[in-house]
Structure 1
């Protein structure tokens, strides 16, 4: 009986040990499976989190881009409206200031150009008192009238150039200028001014000069207006130091 009882007890212990061993093995297997699952979940989590970071960053960038686009658009619209208002105000201000300056300039007389040869006509004054006295002893005067034939006002002043020419133009006499002071004058359309020429007329048949034309060059111009010489002969003093025939300033 004791031997059989002992054998049973040994078998039970063996079974218990085997069961315990199996239980331990099963526990280890479950633990290993559980660990791999947890590790896989964590890796997936890390992977999702890792991919989510660029994704969220991308989403953030995209949102930021949209937001920045939206802000840029709204800012651009605001800037455009502000610029439009500022531009309109600037243009209006420019028009007002420009008009004021133009009006002021017109009133002040600034910006009026000098009289050009193309805008003037010249003629000898032919009235009774304007004609030189052929019987005057020594020197007398004749007047040349300059008229603004243009449609705008112009300023003229100083000494004109006067060149006397013979019939064939071969003999020229450039008249000297006097020492008289001069100013300037504004000629409106159709207005006239004049200057005088001191002339030494002669009736002698020797030592004379007979002009046929006079070239009148306005001050600061290079082109001349040619008019006929209506008077008689002059004392030929083309080589004289102080000739009796000379030009006076305008006005």
Structure 2
């Protein structure tokens, strides 16, 4: 073989070895890149599955995205801003889901409260004076008179129990807080304009001594602290302000 042929053969071998080396290096580079991508993808995939399993629903979606957002670098920050927006949407969804419950709770509260009790400001009082409402001054023993309470408000109210009744003289100096009977009672509902009444057992007298002459009656509805004043339309009572069991006393409403 000539010297020129020997040189050409050596060059071809050198080129083949160089090409083979380049091919092997490229293969190693590609393998390293794909291995890095796979290892980076797998944790994100596991995080998603774990978040959905742990929390479920819309919250799980937000939680998974938040985990992805914490991945790395600027890309993680961008993803976190996006998931923040979506978390806001999740919050709206939660609020919308809770809204019917809140409305129901509000309605339940209204239903639970029901009709309020009657307040002094929503009532007016008057003695019943028509027909046979007047107490019999000639009755031997006790007789009765009635005080009518009317709902003057614009909504229904509930009332029941013992009102307070204080009789007072013309100048108000002599007061008599009437005792209560032992009668049982219940509550009743007054629609606007409706009335109810309660009775006073009264011991009337025509004697010139030992009597008490009321001029007014202060009526305090049950559970209230302010009263309604009505004029006393009848005659004198036996003065039993210090008696243990007076013949003049209050009966309950309802």
What TM-score results when the alignment is normalised by the length of structure 2?
0.67
What is the match of residue 112 of structure 1? 115
**Residue of structure 2 in register with 1:145 after alignment:** 148
Hey, what does 2:190 align to over in structure 1? 187
Match of 2:228 among 191, 214, 225: 225
Q: What SS does structure 2 have at the residue aligned with 1:129? A: helix
Name the CA distance, whole Å, in 2 between partners of 1:100 and 1:228.
44
- Segments of 4+ in structure 1 off by > 3 A? none
Q: Which runs of 5+ in 1 are unaligned?
A: 1-62
- Displacement of 1:111 in angstroms is 3.4
- Name whichever of 146-155 and 156-165 sits farther off: 146-155
Deviations 1:4-50 (A, max 9, x none): xxxxxxxxxxxxxxxxxxxxxxxxxxxxxxxxxxxxxxxxxxxxxxx
CA 1:224–1:84: 2 relative to 1, 3 Å: same
User: Which residue is 1:169 aligned to?
Assistant: 172
Distance (whole Å) between structure 1 residues aligned to residue 86 and residue 218 of structure 2: 68
Q: Distance in 1 between matches of 2:86 and 2:121?
A: 56
Shift of 1:64: 3.2
Local SS of the residue matching 1:77 = helix
Greater Cα shift, 73-82 or 153-162: 73-82
Distance, in Å, in 2 between the alignment partners of 1:85 and 1:240 is: 71
Q: Which residue of 1 aligns with 2:75?
A: 67
2:88 equivalent to 1:86 = no
Q: How far, CA to CA, are the matches of 1:80 and 1:168 in structure 2?
A: 72
CA shift, 1:112, in A, is: 2.4
Q: Which runs of 5+ in 2 are unaligned?
A: 1-70
Q: Which residue of 2 aligns with 1:213?
A: 216
Listed as ranges, the matches of 1:196-207 within 5 Å are 196-207=199-210
Q: Give 1:84 deviation, angstroms.
A: 2.0
**Shift of residue 101, structure 1, vs aligned partner:** 2.3
Are positions 1:244 and 2:252 aligned together?
no
Counterpart-to-counterpart distance in 1, 2:208 and 2:222: 35
- Distance change (3 Å), C-alpha of 1:99 and 1:163: closer
Residue of structure 2 in register with 1:46 after alignment: none
TM (norm. structure 1) is 0.68
- Output the CA distance in 1 between the equivalents of 2:205 and 2:85: 88
User: Which has the greater radius of gyration?
Assistant: 1
Secondary structure at the aligned position of 1:83 is classed as: helix
CA distance in 2: counterparts of 1:162 and 1:196, whole angstroms: 11
Aligned to 1:178: 181
Looking at structure 2, the residues matched to 92 and 219 of structure 1 have their Cα atoms a distance apart, in angstroms, of 38
Task: Give the paired residue count.
Answer: 184
